[in-house]
Structure 1
């Protein structure tokens, strides 16, 4: 009797000016112990020699390469690449990161044992610097694999709403998740927060307590530069997602998580001088935070002095 056919995994690898890291990143993909894997690489109109390095690394391999004629951003670039994907499971992978050899195999195995409602499997992650030196783990560990902190899983809506705790580099998700969401929201400057909010309202998240990837902190990357000046489009996207989350909240616990998030984002907006966005957060808090009137005056005074 023939062995049952294993599910296809689509790795959608996105590059934008990742030239120094492309060979290492792609070798980590090529070195996966699992098969079958479909690799789709999308270069978002890099201004360095990323595309040339991608083409050289993929010579002789059956890989789909997409080259954008203009810079479209992560959300649209992923959505366009996803149209070519045939896999049952999807990994959104940046070509400045790395995955370890058993990553795909272990995540697929967990999915195959789980319920159809399990939409996302995420892992612990090594955080490395630009030259690949280990810095720390996403979740601190007691020993070689178990996290020393409690990692929320299952229905994680309130958890992903209140704080950032999942590293996207460690995620794999079912095809049905991205189909149900109609892809990433292309009006946003980044995808992670919106994906977590919308998908966790419908699907469960499962934590695999192993380190199967490494996230590289690069000075010019989006994540490295998020909370800085001249990044108003990122702050505006976060506000948009918070507004979506407001309508998705079902109970007081989830509303408290929203308040916690909005308070934090409001402080960041005030610090970096985004007065218009700050006022919109105050409008949300006016309707959701019972302590709004205690600090509203203080916040508005700070906004006035920063102008």
Structure 2
């Protein structure tokens, strides 16, 4: 199995060296590393180049490609460009400030081969808050243990549409590229775009009946909580907040799990928006503008209750 890593890079100068080190330290090296610089202005790209140059043993064994975008397009654009450059049969994305445990690729490779998994979700460790996701205590009925920290997800769509599940946060999915081809990250909005993307890929994977979906826990991906990142950005006005893409891509669908996903993403997005608006006035305007989404949450609550 040839694993390609796509690393979108934009102004991660304080962190990119540590992120690359976590790739270099893998017990199974990736087949290739594609770095897409999204017009960084803080020297991130030069730091990455210098680090690669000083670790030429890695570059002799791993195909490395650096792509420099002519203008800043956002993380979704960088991921889409990077994916098109990959040639491996398995693809994973790594944000420029996150970290891999040194056995992530080896363990993932063995699981996907030995248990016919084309789609593997990785549990994440948020730091410095020391939060671990997902919360397995609330998901046990949806998981079948294979061995320590490894589970087969019995009903994948039911699991990922649970309020307690997290997929697409911190790029925590490894998948076979054949299922990812022709699906793109939504480029006009850079918030919760990963959830929308991976949900589309998962539904495509599940069309093949004999595919199993896995969950790997054990602190394999560390997601850094950085002030000023998209998930922590503060807004002066309600209209500055980009709507989560899945709320549009699943809009009007009669599929039960699409509706459940809209409920999950909608609730998180509404909570995030209210929390990050700076003034009470803007919070009130936001609630008025999106009152239909607040009303819909009651419907989604009853739908989740019936889906347990």
Q: Identify the TM-score tier after normalising by the shorter chain.
A: 0.7 to 0.9
Q: TM-score, normalised by structure 2?
A: 0.74
C-alpha separation in 1, matches of 2:50 and 2:190: 30
Q: Which one has a bigger Cα radius of gyration?
A: 1
Whole-angstrom CA distance in 2 between matches of 1:20 and 1:74: 18
What is aligned with 2:133? 138
Match of 2:249 in 1: 244
Task: State how far apart, in whole Å, the 2-side matches of 1:270 and 1:78 are.
Answer: 28
Alignment equivalent of 1:258, drawn from 243, 255, 262 = 262
- Residues 207, 108 of structure 1: CA spacing in aligned structure 2 closer, same or farther, 3 A cutoff? same
Contact 2:19 2:98 in 1 (8 A): yes
2:204 match: secondary structure: coil
TM-score, normalisation: structure 1? 0.74
Cα contact 2:126–2:132 (8 A) shared by 1: yes
Report SS of the residue matched to 1:82: helix
| Consecutive unaligned residues in structure 1, runs of 5 or more | 1-6, 141-146, 293-307
Shift of 1:203: 2.5
**C-alpha distance in 2, partners of 1:24/1:89?**
23
**Aligned pair in 2 of structure 1 residues 262, 184: CA closer, same or farther (>3 Å)?**
closer
Summarize the Cα distance change of 1:232–1:197 in structure 2 as closer, same or farther, 3 Å threshold.
Answer: farther
Task: For 1:175 and 1:159, locate their aligned partners in 2 and report how far apart those are by CA, in whole Å.
Answer: 22
How far apart are 1:199 and its partner, in Å? 2.2
Tell me the SS of whatever aligns to 1:201: helix
Select 2:235's aligned residue among 229, 245, 252.
229
Alpha-carbon distance change, 178 to 29 in structure 1, aligned in 2, over 3 angstroms: same
Distance change (3 Å), C-alpha of 1:218 and 1:247? same
Which residue is equivalent to 2:304?
Answer: none
Matching residue within 39, 51, 56 for 2:33: 39
Counterpart-to-counterpart distance in 1, 2:293 and 2:10: 35
- Alignment equivalent of 1:171, drawn from 167, 170, 173: 173
Match of 2:10 among 16, 27, 30: 16
Where do 1:35-74 residues align within 5 Å?
Answer: 35-59=29-53, 60=56, 61=59, 62-74=63-75
Q: CA separation in 1, counterparts of 2:96 and 2:267?
A: 34
Deviates more, 1:260-269 or 1:200-209: 260-269
Partner of 1:157: 157
**Distance in 2 between residues matched to 1:135 and 1:98, nearest whole Å:** 14
Distance 1:38 1:128 in 2: 27
CA distance 1:99–1:234, change in 2 (3 Å): farther
Quick one: distance in 2 between partners of 1:259 and 1:22? 35
Cα separation, 2, equivalents of 1:258 and 1:233: 20
CA distance 1:242–1:157, change in 2 (3 Å): farther
1:100 CA drift (Å) = 1.3
* Aligned partner of residue 219 in structure 2, secondary structure: strand
Aligned residues: 269
Moved more, 166-175 or 93-102: 166-175
